Structure 1
């Protein structure tokens, strides 16, 4: 039967609820993009201030970093329990079928979005090895979820769709990578995305990315990499990078899951549960010591370090990979607000650089990009999202197949060592749900 043209046109343009819902979603997506741009500025200023303080005296981080870590955890424990950690597990938990509308505010809300921005900035002000990308997912999801109150009754746009759109919009806006945002919505947040409103949701994700691009400029996150040709001589270093990234990324993922879920039980876990603020201060001191030993290389998100490697303006000692991995693990274990995306990219970039130098490969930026994609894929076990993020961040479209292969191999290796990071930590978040009321005995 041929489609009823006039009926379809009338249904499309007469139903005012449909257009109100579309307008609300698009407006909130633009607002989410603007918020992430402001959040980016805030975190960069915070980290810049830390480095300015560190320049005053080398020993200041030994005092300042523990204080900032303790202050963040104290505020989280006192008022903002849902603001701890990366933020991505919180969004995944909010999408779980066991969570009702009244309980979603435990994981995602406008209040938590504001707290997440401020607390992540304080963490970077202390030089902790955290990133803003995971928090951007929770922040944008909280903003998009706030659109629910403005939607007309019986709107086809659900809270599930708003959360997926918001979380993915956070990735699109923070990295200037709209395509990666769409893939993250499918691979990282929702295994079965809604079909009915997928076009509207994708439009919101892309709009958030475009808002960021229009304000921050069209340039890529790390600049363009120019690789004349990748031939057979790249197979050995590329495979070695994928295997090393898979092993180390799987190790980091396993450490994060075990430490943040309180397993295995022991004296350190008991101390963390009994004295969380003091434990955070101790973690801050460890991060400060690692930063002092590496002359500041392991402090912060690692963006400047990664950019310097790609530009050929910086070289790192081989021990950087281990120290940055430790700093990232300890920063997350402290219980502060902050993600692992940017530190994972920095670790992968340094690992790729080191292997390229070891094997005398002539095009160092290509090995660095492979390391970034491989380590991020291994840590998060989202290989498609990871290679697209790196491809868009460095304008590395000539390396599409190489980045994809490295991400898939590294993720496969990681799966032999660790369960998926974000879904495992989402289970930890779901444990915060209030217990269900006891069932009434039969009459």
Structure 2
């Protein structure tokens, strides 16, 4: 080897070594942030679960105090969102999707900045303690996305990972940690957050998602969100019941998602009131929720986690009206504009409808509950694979695999006749951000236009 060739080879080797060292350091930082997502998801889950249990105990011991909380707390929470914690209202998943479509620094600061992060982390347990029919999974997605977006501010990380890919990975890591299902987080990344997009350096980001789920697994043990079930169903003999359930869950999920859009639309009467008098409307939503709890009991409050788990694992009875009251309570809580997700309430609605349908058809309850859970979630999110994977984690045998796939696919197609796209994408397309006033207004929303119906081409308005 000639001297020049040897020196060139040594120089190239040195550059390669420096690049690998720098890349290894950057990836290590990303992994550290993913571990932090997992830790925060577990802590956030503990706070939210404690808040929900406290509300149940308060309702049992001091019902009238519990009934007074929603009308008081909802407008306070909304005021905090609009004046201090901008971007923290609503579910959290639409905000993450909005930023993946428009990864502009100012939009990231508004929807995934420190204020939005802290608001979701603190106000969500606050409203759950007040009885809001809201879940913690959507907020966990926004928290994870916000952390990863913050990681993207470091120059060396920004050179290797684009911001959009980091946000997708952070949101998916939140799902993986919230449901203790890394596979569900991976599917959510590609099917919902990363729809029609590609991710750079996929292997490193996938490992980040897995690490967040691993943290939850270590800290909380190998558990399923709604417990485990050994339910089974004869696919050959019960095909007509399964097919009917798939159709009905598609209709229920479509109407459920559509009702959220209509109620927050500025073109509707209630949506107009919501736009003009946001705090009075939030208080009114609290009054409606309390009246429902007065009539139907404590099952109106919360995401429905305890009732669903008890029905699946311990075969406890659910009220025939559980799915309908939980649907109404979730829509009312969402319409108020407070922080809180609709992911786990949607699963509870599906479980309640499956329980109701099993009573009508005199069928085995547990398998129809699981099938209806995947059906309603697929219908609302238009993510049949994610829904299938999350519910599959609860099943101890493989007899339900084909029915679950069948129901998730059919219900999604049926829902598209009512709800043209994923509720999260429709809501993301309708988020308006005012930079002049430095506040985020997740609604009022407009009725889905043809552009919205395709879940494409959303525009961001910047008021200067």
Same fold, TM-score > 0.5, yes or no: yes
2:117 paired residue number? 113
Encode CA deviations 1:169-195: one digit per residue, 9 max, x unaligned. 010000001001000000101124435
Paired residues for 1:60-209 under 5 Å? 60-97=65-102, 99-152=103-156, 155-209=159-213
State the shift of 1:357 in Å.
Answer: 2.3
TM-score normalised according to structure 2 size: 0.87
2:443 paired residue number? none
1-structure distance, mates of 2:258, 2:338: 19
2-structure distance, mates of 1:426, 1:404: 27
| Aligned Cα root-mean-square deviation (Å) | 2.2
TM-score normalised according to structure 1 size: 0.91
Encode CA deviations 1:174-217: one digit per residue, 9 max, x unaligned. 00010010000001011244354100110000110010010000
2-structure distance, mates of 1:433, 1:418: 31
State the shift of 1:412 in Å.
Answer: 0.8
Task: Note if contact 2:264-2:271 (Cα within 8 Å) is conserved in structure 1.
Answer: no
State the shift of 1:8 in Å.
Answer: 9.7
2:400 is the alignment partner of 1:399: yes
1:258 paired residue number? 262
Mean CA deviation greater in 180-189 or 351-360: 351-360
Task: Flag structure 2 segments of 5+ consecutive residues without an equivalent.
Answer: 1-9, 437-460
Mean CA deviation greater in 232-241 or 214-223: 232-241
2-structure distance, mates of 1:218, 1:325: 30
Task: Note if contact 1:259-1:333 (Cα within 8 Å) is conserved in structure 2.
Answer: yes
State the shift of 1:103 in Å.
Answer: 2.4
2-structure distance, mates of 1:8, 1:207: 32
1:377 paired residue number? 378
2-structure distance, mates of 1:300, 1:292: 14
1:335 paired residue number? 337
Encode CA deviations 1:322-375: one digit per residue, 9 max, x unaligned. 21111111110011101111111111001111212222223x211111011111
Encode CA deviations 1:144-189: one digit per residue, 9 max, x unaligned. 1111234516622111111000000010000001001000000101
Mean CA deviation greater in 272-281 or 231-240: 231-240
Alignment CA distance shift 1:84-1:164 (3 Å): same
1-structure distance, mates of 2:74, 2:222: 35
Task: Note if contact 2:48-2:125 (Cα within 8 Å) is conserved in structure 1.
Answer: yes
2:353 is the alignment partner of 1:351: yes
State the shift of 1:56 in Å.
Answer: 2.1
2:450 paired residue number? none
> What SS class does the counterpart of residue 41 from structure 1 fall into?
helix
State the shift of 1:316 in Å.
Answer: 2.0
Task: Note if contact 2:229-2:394 (Cα within 8 Å) is conserved in structure 1.
Answer: no
Encode CA deviations 1:374-419: one digit per residue, 9 max, x unaligned. 1111111111111111112445644222111111111111110012
State the shift of 1:433 in Å.
Answer: 6.1
Alignment CA distance shift 1:147-1:365 (3 Å): same
Alignment CA distance shift 1:191-1:325 (3 Å): same
Task: Note if contact 1:260-1:425 (Cα within 8 Å) is conserved in structure 2.
Answer: no
Task: Note if contact 2:228-2:313 (Cα within 8 Å) is conserved in structure 1.
Answer: no
1:218 paired residue number? 222
2-structure distance, mates of 1:222, 1:238: 22
1:441 paired residue number? none
> What SS class does the counterpart of residue 417 from structure 1 fall into?
coil
2-structure distance, mates of 1:385, 1:286: 33
State the shift of 1:9 in Å.
Answer: 11
Identify the match of residue 272 of structure 2 among 249, 270, 273.
270
2:444 paired residue number? none
How many residues are treated as equivalent by the alignment? 429
Alignment CA distance shift 1:278-1:150 (3 Å): same
Alignment CA distance shift 1:201-1:71 (3 Å): same
Identify the match of residue 323 of structure 1 among 317, 322, 325.
325
2-structure distance, mates of 1:154, 1:307: 42
Task: Note if contact 1:21-1:151 (Cα within 8 Å) is conserved in structure 2.
Answer: no
1:44 paired residue number? 49
2:417 is the alignment partner of 1:412: no
Task: Flag structure 1 segments of 5+ consecutive residues without an equivalent.
Answer: 1-5, 439-443
Alignment CA distance shift 1:157-1:397 (3 Å): farther
State the shift of 1:14 in Å.
Answer: 4.9
2:35 is the alignment partner of 1:34: no
2-structure distance, mates of 1:138, 1:111: 12
Alignment CA distance shift 1:9-1:293 (3 Å): farther
1:241 paired residue number? 245
Over 6 Å off, 4+ runs = 6-10
Task: Note if contact 2:181-2:393 (Cα within 8 Å) is conserved in structure 1.
Answer: yes
Encode CA deviations 1:49-88: one digit per residue, 9 max, x unaligned. 1112112232223311211212111111212231110000
2:24 paired residue number? 19
Alignment CA distance shift 1:395-1:433 (3 Å): farther
Task: Note if contact 1:141-1:166 (Cα within 8 Å) is conserved in structure 2.
Answer: yes
2:428 paired residue number? 426
